[in-house]
Structure 1
Amino acid sequence: MKKQALTIALCLFTSSVFATSCPQHYFSGQEPGLTIPLQQNREICYTVFATGYSDATRTAFYSAEHLIKKNVLAAKKLKREDSFHEDPNLPDSAQAKLTDYKGSGFDRGHLAPNADMPTKQAQYESFSLANMVPQLHVNNAGIWSEIESTVRNMATTYGDVYVVTGGLYNASTQTIKNRIPVPNALFKAVYVPKMKEAGVFISDNNSSGSYKVISVNQLKKLSGIDVFPSLPNQKKELAMELPEVKQKDHKPAKFTLKNLLGK
């Protein structure tokens, strides 16, 4: 696929809620709030999703989407065209490079999935390395792929859902090429306007094939990210009953928050 010029808005932001350049991608027009100090962060506004990006780690700490039924149906008609690329809208010092992932043993794991993208432009944007984290292939192509599919099915069932996806890290986090941190686990937070409920899928970045559902406030404690800041606190305290993710050898009963991050 021929590279296309990306129409991207970049703006610096701090650890508090800021005036987003693309409110359409967030529930109530508010981007996730950060309760952890991060430096040189950027909001990157793409066609159908937005990314919260850290210059310091050269990776996204979240990507957010307002996933709607018509986009999911349109995405099904698009043939996947891999076009992984360095994001030209970032300064060179803040960019992840294709060479960072080469020979690393990790996939370039989408946060906002290619299969959510309704147009070729949006598909191309999803292959920016700014929308990637290092992910083990067995997780990326296994349970995580099933979680992504489950969320798309939720969008077609309910008409629309708001989604925020990111990685979880701790003191044992490794890096590739001494540049890019590898998340210990990944999360996908979902808010369903029709139900007025939210929940979070969370899965270790390993070969276990397991996942757990937690609340928005539990995620906030683990990640330092308030994924839906305008959601009433009582809604954040309760995890909605998300659809079961079916996969061979899935053993959710053995998955605990204690082993999630190696604590």
Structure 2
Amino acid sequence: MMLWLLLLQVWASCLWLGHSEVVTSFESSCPQFFFRETPPNEALEPENPAWICQRYNNQYFFATLYDRKERIPVYSAYIYEPGPGKRPQGWLVEPQLMGPTYPKTMEKEWTLINHYNVSLEKLSESQAILQDYKNLTGLNRGHLNPNGHHFNYSSRMATFTLTNIVPQDEKLNGGAWNNYEQRTMIRNTQGCDTTYVIVGAVPGNNYIAKGRVNKPSYIWSSACCVVDNNHRKAWAVIAENDQNQVQLLTLGELEDTLTQLYGRGQVSLFDSECPRE
């Protein structure tokens, strides 16, 4: 009888994990956003990470490795599926970063304060909040996973979570980076059946919101495109977060650059089937 109860408990906890938002690993919870279900290796992991399967309207839309200490995402991973549509309004936060008793889907700050008895102070301990991004000079809220790379309202709205946002140079965000997201991606994805994307930010030495939220020194993006069963292509870019210019790289060049910038060992962003040259 005891063994049966124990097995039931284990089964129940596995079931709960499968429906959780902040998870123990991407491989077990939302591997579909990574080529060959292989997330980047540990060389990008911060001291205090959170693995988030970004869930909105009861559906997973992308994956984010979040740096709890710097209060910015390390990277967001998604499948490129652009479509027409309006830019959503409003911003969401991640209740699960406060603990597993809170809703498993992203919510508005207002909803948490008014319906779940959460104080703004408690929320702010676990992540960036809207107040952190007020009154910025020369910076704005830069999506890692951009809403324009998604085909319907729910998938676009899911990108409007502060766990997918970094303080980004406003000229870069509206200029060369936007040009990469809109034009270069369309050009590079010609002939691709599925394009897996990982966009990240390297923490810098500067902060906004009285030291609460890190301003990244670099923002980078990488893509692995499946042309057919036998062919893949890959590309990457990196930008300094105070210059309006984007440098186009091979995937291998970006991984080597990130290896130097993070200093935690050789970075691998995608499964070895993606070409590095």
Q: TM-score, normalising length from structure 2?
A: 0.71
1:140 aligns with 2:152: no
Show the counterpart of 2:93: 86
Cα distance, 1:164–1:52 mapped onto 2, change above 3 Å: same
Query: Deviation at 1:23?
Result: 1.0
Structure 1 contact 186–204 (Cα < 8 Å) conserved = yes
Distance in 2 between the 1:25 and 1:113 partners?
A: 15
C-alpha deviations, 1:37-82, integer Å up to 9, x for none? 5233222113331111111111110000122xxx32xx21x11122
Match of 2:136 among 95, 104, 117: 104
Structure 1 contact 43–52 (Cα < 8 Å) conserved = yes
Show the counterpart of 2:193: 159
C-alpha deviations, 1:1-58, integer Å up to 9, x for none? xxxxxx8622135xxxx63411110010011112255233222113331111111111
| Mapping of residues 99-248 of structure 1, within 5 Å | 99-105=131-137, 106-149=139-182, 150-170=184-204, 173-177=205-209, 178-194=211-227, 195-216=231-252, 217-221=255-259, 222-223=261-262, 224=264, 225-228=267-270, 230-232=271-273, 235-236=275-276, 238=277
Cα distance, 1:156–1:82 mapped onto 2, change above 3 Å: farther
1:56 aligns with 2:63: no
C-alpha deviations, 1:92-123, integer Å up to 9, x for none? 22211111110122211001001012222222
Give the unaligned 5+ runs of structure 1. Answer: 1-6, 239-263
**Deviates most, 193-202 or 50-59:** 193-202
**Deviates most, 156-165 or 95-104:** 156-165
Identity of aligned residues (%): 25
Give the unaligned 5+ runs of structure 2. Answer: 1-18, 55-59, 99-122
Show the counterpart of 1:31: 39
Larger Rg: 2
Distance in 2 between the 1:175 and 1:20 partners?
A: 34
Distance in 2 between the 1:159 and 1:83 partners?
A: 32
Structure 2 contact 234–250 (Cα < 8 Å) conserved = no
Distance in 1 between the 2:187 and 2:193 partners?
A: 10
Query: Deviation at 1:156?
Result: 5.0
In proportion to residue count, which structure has more helix?
2
Structure 1 contact 139–205 (Cα < 8 Å) conserved = yes
Q: TM-score, normalising length from structure 1?
A: 0.74
Cα distance, 1:156–1:44 mapped onto 2, change above 3 Å: farther
Distance in 2 between the 1:139 and 1:96 partners?
A: 22
**Structure 1 SS opposite 2:89:** coil
Letter paired with 1:44: I
Letter paired with 1:168: V
Structure 1 contact 185–202 (Cα < 8 Å) conserved = yes
Count of residues paired in the alignment? 217
Structure 1 contact 86–97 (Cα < 8 Å) conserved = yes
Letter paired with 2:134: K
Distance in 1 between the 2:44 and 2:31 partners?
A: 22
**Structure 2 SS opposite 1:48:** strand
Distance in 2 between the 1:29 and 1:37 partners?
A: 18
Structure 2 contact 72–128 (Cα < 8 Å) conserved = yes
